[in-house]
Amino acid sequence: MMTCDAAIRVATPLGPITLLAHGEALVAARFDAAPVDLPDSPVCREAARQLQAWFAGRRQRFELPLAPQGTPFQQAVWAQLAALGPGETLSYAQLAGALGRPRAARAVGAAVARNPLAILIPCHRVLGAGGTLTGYAWGLERKRALLRREGVDAAA
């Protein structure tokens, strides 16, 4: 169960994103418009500012304290994703190999799907074999748009 004590909703070209924080770190960023009855916080406001700058093309990377909650394996997968540069993509198999677990592509896919910090931990940069556009918790059209924003034209 995720613990959070602050939130803010950010309007983006791809729909509203709700940012959730616990203490001084973000714990979730999700595309949704569900009501959140929490106060905002300095980290939420800074994240909103950076996200808006990213969508406007004025920022390439995020400099925010992140504290996603997950298993040690999920944390390792998310750390690898966070290290990817803008426009840099890889496959689930490549990500598994980078973790030293070349046969764990499906487990990597499950961990990618559970990424609680959309865009901030760039799971949209993971493609299927051969660069094909594959699943994204927030919809393939959003994934395609995020990749295009970074200059990547993924195969359908």
Domain ranges of the chain: 6-55, 72-149
User: Which residues belong to the active site?
Assistant: 123
Look up the CATH number of domain 72-149: 1.10.10.10
94 vs 129, more confident: 94
CB 147 within 8 A of CB 141: no
Distance of CA 19 to the CA centre of its chain: 11
Q: Please name which of 82, 96, 93 lies closest in space to residue 125, comparing C-alpha atoms.
A: 82
Look up the pTM and report it.
Answer: 0.92
Distances (CA, A) of 52 to 6, 12, 49, 59, 62: 19, 7, 5, 9, 11
**What residues pair up with 59 in beta bridges, in sequence order?**
none
Instruction: Please state, for a pLDDT cut of 70, what percent of the chain lies above it.
Output: 98
The pLDDT-based confidence of 66 (bands split at 50, 70, 90) is very high
